[in-house]
Structure 1
Amino acid sequence: MPEPPASDRSATGAAARPAPSTGAAIQLEHLTKAYPGSPVPAVDDVSMEIKAGETVVFVGPSGCGKSTTLKMINRLIEPTSGRIRIGDEDVTAIDPVGLRRKVGYAIQASGLFPHMSVAENIALVPKMTGWSRARTRERVAEMLDLVGLDPGEFHDRYPRQLSGGQQQRVGVARALAADPPVLLMDEPFGAVDPITRDHLQDELIRLQHELHKTIVFVTHDFDEAIKLGDRIAVLRERSHIAQFDTPEAILTNPADDFVSGFVGAGAALKRLNLTRVRDVAVVDFPTAQVDDPLQSIFDLLRDGATNEVLLLDRHRRPYKWLRRGDLSRAKQSLARAGTLVTDTVTRDATLRDALEAVLTDSAGRVAVTGRRGEFLGVVDMETLMNNVHELLEADRLEALEHQHDLQTLRAHRTQLAQEGLEGTGGADGGPGGRA
């Protein structure tokens, strides 16, 4: 977007910036994709309405057409028939290249251009849409900060110099750089290890809380769909919609056996993916910093109510757990004392993520961190188990209520049937109707 004219500038001379865009509604109307020579369409007559600002996840078996449906939204694949509306605009007939500049797109393995630096990758779409050099430079720094990468450290790096998780963060930053109302994500976290994937999912949840984009996300992982989606579209072959509902509704009331197969066993535990760490009690914990005098750390361990403190680095990030028993090894230095913190969770992590982290920790707790990795508090086993018990109790009560409703319905039907038989006998002159 070109710089605004001088009349639109503030008194300080800085260019006025447009307000960040939020999400736009998406409507798919009878969308079909048929390939020549194929006896059946790859996508067959899909209609769906996605609300502005919500995250909708397409989940289904391999080859069911979920990625094809996604790519038709920004017309990377041209539909054979049907219509696509984004906001108030019918985008089916407009210039597809211009459309793609208005719709963010993130894919598996990031899709970064290897010969371009991180900054050049992120700046690509803003430059193509006519942003000034100064505004583009500011936007690159803003996007790196938004996805948790230090602009000073990562601005001039190349993709080969990044980890898989860092590449995916840059891919998301590039997709959001031109501030599109819609973000399409095609299995973007499928090529990274499970721990990195969990953190990237948490980062996406945090970003969505800040940006309120309309996100359409494709995955084959139902647990990922539960964690990320405001609503989930479970797709059969040819993208036929088996169920399109909230994660809670799908977990507690799957539409049929096909959907039940995706839910799988342990629906109550899967519901731990619906509650975030920010929704439960994050407790304080004694901390010290690596720069603190050794004697003050010793005094804290000896005199404190707990036999353990969390040692933080210079950026207040969790570094080591120190116990009283470590004091003998820390007389001169902390280098050999304590246990390194190997796992943390963010406030946007799910209770299932937290539970997995706690179960792998011998002391039964996990540190909670902010967007920069700074320490916020601790979640422990007792808190998590209380929430698990509450979920199980809610499921038990719901099952009893459902059973009671079924019994009431059966009794009502029996009563109606008996009344119908008696009425029929009297009215028709049957055995009970004649003298």
Structure 2
Amino acid sequence: MADTGAAIELVGLTKRYPGDRQPSVDGVTLRVDAGETVVFVGPSGCGKSTTLKMINRLIEPSSGSVRINGEDVTGLDPVELRRGIGYAIQSSGLFPHLTVAQNIALVPRMAGWSGRRVRARVTEMLELVGLDPGEFRDRYPRRLSGGQQQRVGVARALAADPPVLLMDEPFGAVDPVTRGHLQDELLRLQRELRKTIVFVTHDVDEAIKLGDRIAVLGERSRIAQFDTPEAILAHPADAFVSGFVGSGAALKRLDLTRLRDLGVPGCPTAHQGEPLPQVRARLRASATDEMLLLDRRGRPVRWLRRADLTHAEGPLTEAGTPVGGTVTRDATLREALEAVLTDSTGRVAVTGPNGVYAGAVRLEGLLGTVRGLLAADRGRAREHQRERESTRPEPTPPEAEGATAGRAEGDAMGSAG
């Protein structure tokens, strides 16, 4: 397998357990393109995790096939197959008796990598998922938060540079805030790495945020709809999909737009240690009444208003108000709106990799963007309705119906004679 993403094809994939009247998974056929993120979403017990585990043969298919870059994996050694496929699960699945570094190094060591190469890869993976190698390398999993454990789990899944990454509800056991940050981190990683990702969740909002395409699965993993998030929200295939997606499709649309797609406006900034007169002059020259104080690593730490700078005498680290929550450039429009609505002044700092300042957004600007997006969606919906009506067959006039019926009756009698 190549080190970049690989295409996956499921052909008639079926799993039937002995004694069961019906298969758990019934004839799933779909294709995941190389470098694509496809999310399996559906109600509990529909077989989505079983389908996922048949890709790396943690569960053996009863019939059908799985092909990765055209090669049928049922003909491969299952252990070797799994070494070439990353796998991340709920609650991280880290070995508690191994350090963070040892957990990440497992598959590269089994693949015969040299010690030097393994150590370098552990450092690279920890930096990739936003954990300081010097701080976390020698920790044991019990000394990590839930979000940190999940980051290490993703690092371990990616350590041997597999072309395919399978993720089985990997963020389901963490709190909503941490879950949002982990989703953003996965989006950032995918932009950099372009792996082929198959992701399982029961959360429609998570599927909309993460998936290039979504497979909505019904009973026995039968595919109810396999399409882009935009298409599923705008045109659900049937009542099951519509009911599963739920109400508020217009609001869910906000999960399809990320701040990085809109362009994040900036605001005046100052750095810790800058002379106070220089900072005051910068704010006076701006069109706003507020600026962000950044630490020496460029991360937002305090909001400074004109009055704060007027009365400041000591270090700026004592002035203004601390930065509360931040959002990343990968945050969705919905997440950004939630953040500014919970801020008393209606603004939030935006960060990039490693928490470095990337801009700031305010309530008025976000509301204007939302109105524009929803208006465009309404226009597309009207256009789609007009297209449907234009292709609808014309009704047959009553007199024509009678003539057609008469001809049919005569034809039938002639045939009988």
Tell whether the structures are fold-level matches, with TM greater than 0.5. Answer: yes
Corresponding residue for residue 126 of structure 1: 108
Q: Give the deviation of 1:243 after TM superposition.
A: 0.6
User: Contact 1:109 / 1:189 at 8 angstroms: preserved in 2?
Assistant: yes
Is 1:413 matched up with 2:394?
Answer: yes
386-395 or 162-171: bigger deviation:
386-395
User: Contact 1:112 / 1:167 at 8 angstroms: preserved in 2?
Assistant: yes
Corresponding residue for residue 186 of structure 2: 204
User: Contact 1:186 / 1:218 at 8 angstroms: preserved in 2?
Assistant: yes
Q: Give the deviation of 1:232 after TM superposition.
A: 0.3
Corresponding residue for residue 324 of structure 2: 342
Q: Give the deviation of 1:390 after TM superposition.
A: 2.0
Corresponding residue for residue 231 of structure 1: 213
State the alpha-carbon separation in 2 of the partners of residues 281 and 21 from structure 1.
32
Q: Show the 5 A alignment for 1:59-74.
A: 59-74=41-56
Classify 1:345/1:429 alpha carbon distance in 2 versus 1 (closer, same or farther; 3 Å).
closer
Match among 62, 70, 75 for residue 80 of structure 1? 62
Q: Give the deviation of 1:359 after TM superposition.
A: 1.6
298-307 or 103-112: bigger deviation:
298-307
Q: Show the 5 A alignment for 1:36-185.
A: 36-185=18-167
330-339 or 349-358: bigger deviation:
330-339
Corresponding residue for residue 413 of structure 2: none
State the alpha-carbon separation in 1 of the partners of residues 89 and 102 from structure 2.
18
State the alpha-carbon separation in 2 of the partners of residues 25 and 336 from structure 1.
54
CA deviations over 1:101-140 (Å, ceiling 9, x no partner)? 1100001111111111111111100000111111111111
State the alpha-carbon separation in 2 of the partners of residues 170 and 347 from structure 1.
22
- Aligned AA for 2:307? G
Match among 164, 168, 174 for residue 186 of structure 1? 168
CA deviations over 1:298-340 (Å, ceiling 9, x no partner)? 4444564322110111111011111123347643344543222
State the alpha-carbon separation in 1 of the partners of residues 325 and 124 from structure 2.
27
- Aligned AA for 2:245? V
Question: Helix, strand or coil: the match of 1:189?
Answer: coil
Is 1:352 matched up with 2:334?
Answer: yes
- Aligned AA for 1:258? F
State the alpha-carbon separation in 2 of the partners of residues 328 and 27 from structure 1.
65
State the alpha-carbon separation in 2 of the partners of residues 133 and 403 from structure 1.
62
55-64 or 416-425: bigger deviation:
416-425
Q: Give the deviation of 1:401 after TM superposition.
A: 2.5
Q: Give the deviation of 1:391 after TM superposition.
A: 2.1
Corresponding residue for residue 379 of structure 1: 361
The RMSD of aligned alpha carbons is 2.3
Classify 1:423/1:280 alpha carbon distance in 2 versus 1 (closer, same or farther; 3 Å).
same
Q: Give the deviation of 1:48 after TM superposition.
A: 1.5
24-33 or 354-363: bigger deviation:
354-363
**Matched residue pairs, number?**
410
Q: Give the deviation of 1:204 after TM superposition.
A: 0.7
Is 1:288 matched up with 2:270?
Answer: yes
State the alpha-carbon separation in 2 of the partners of residues 220 and 39 from structure 1.
25
202-211 or 288-297: bigger deviation:
288-297
User: Contact 2:272 / 2:293 at 8 angstroms: preserved in 1?
Assistant: yes
* TM-score of the pair, normalised by structure 2: 0.92
* TM-score of the pair, normalised by structure 1: 0.88
Corresponding residue for residue 11 of structure 1: none
